[in-house]
Amino acid sequence: MTTSQPVDSTPVWVEIMTTQEVVAVGLRTILEDAEGGLTITTQGPLDAAADAEPDVVLYDVIKLHEEDGKELDRLLTQTASCIIAVDRTLSPVLGRRAKDAGVEWRITLGITGDELVTVIHETVAGILDESAVALEWDSAEHLGEAAGLSPREGSVLGLVVSGLSNQQIADRLYLSINSVKTYIRSAYRKLGVSSRAQAVAWGVQHGFPVDAER
């Protein structure tokens, strides 16, 4: 695997955050076997300080299905690392949660090895806005848009459909319980429904993912 980028001997630290070992191994192998251009490490420089931060974090949104999102919030608000979401197109609610948290850029698991290395080059060079590979979140792309739902209403409705309580939604999205209720009621009005069961039925019929375990 090669790139046309100039060689830079300074290692670029790309942290891979996922709960799925096969994804971690695949991404790590692609990055560490890349030839030419940058030297990429997924473990961090050996001489790095204890509080050193990765240059780039590839954050698999599947973590938001199993964790509370506080780690992502810390990365976004307390580090200078560039966060790129590894989006799951079959679980759009997770992608919207990452976007709502503040992640600006995303890639999908359908990306090729060469494309992944190119994205890291573009990140380090500060030219992600010119990327033909990394995708910038489009605020117009969200489930429920055709019914007039705002991105936040769509996110809240998605969690309702997934079976979360109002308090769980508030905790997940860092909202007050009253704000969650407001979003739910405004979504009800736009959808023409009057109960949670009706809203869930509408969501299922219109492509909102359902948490089978719930």
Topology (CATH level 3) of domain 145-205: Arc Repressor Mutant, subunit A (1.10.10)
Q: How confident is the model at residue 36 (pLDDT cuts 50, 70, 90)?
A: low
| Helix (H/G/I), strand (E/B), else coil: 167 | helix
146 Cβ partners below 8 Å, 6+ apart? Answer: none
CA 154 remoteness from chain centre: 16
* Distance between CA atoms of residues 36 and 26, nearest Å: 19
Q: What is the pLDDT of residues 146-163, one digit of tens each?
A: 888 877 888 899 999 999
Structure tokens at 208: 């909102």
Structure confidence at residue 4 (pLDDT): 43
Structure confidence at residue 99 (pLDDT): 87
- Given CATH 3.40.50.2300, say whether it is the number of domain 8-136: yes
Angle between helices 166-173 and 177-191 (to 10 degrees): 110
Q: What is the mean pLDDT of residues 75-84?
A: 93
**91, pLDDT greater than 80:** no
| Cβ atoms within 10 Å of 112's Cβ, excluding its own | 11
* Distance between CA atoms of residues 137 and 52, nearest Å: 28
Positive or negative: CA dihedral 124, 48, 54, 36:
positive
Structure tokens at 116: 């992944």
**93, pLDDT greater than 70:** yes
- Higher confidence at residue 86 or residue 92? 86
Structure confidence at residue 13 (pLDDT): 93
**pTM exceeding the 0.75 threshold for the entire prediction:** no
Q: What are the sequence ranges of the domains in the chain?
A: 8-136, 145-205
Q: What is the pLDDT of residues 164-213, one digit of tens each?
A: 999 999 888 888 888 899 889 999 999 999 999 999 999 999 888 876 55
In the chain, the percentage of residues whose pLDDT exceeds 90 is 45
Task: For 88-113, give the DSSP string.
Answer: -TT-HHHHHHHHHHT--EEEETT--H
Q: Are 150 and 138 in contact (CB under 8 A)?
A: no
**49, pLDDT greater than 80:** no
**Phi (first) and psi of residue 134, to 5 degrees:** -65, 140
* Distance between CA atoms of residues 151 and 210, nearest Å: 18
Q: What is the pLDDT of residues 99-143, one digit of tens each?
A: 888 898 999 988 899 999 999 999 988 888 888 888 877 544 567
* Distance between CA atoms of residues 131 and 62, nearest Å: 24
**73, pLDDT greater than 80:** yes
**1, pLDDT greater than 70:** no
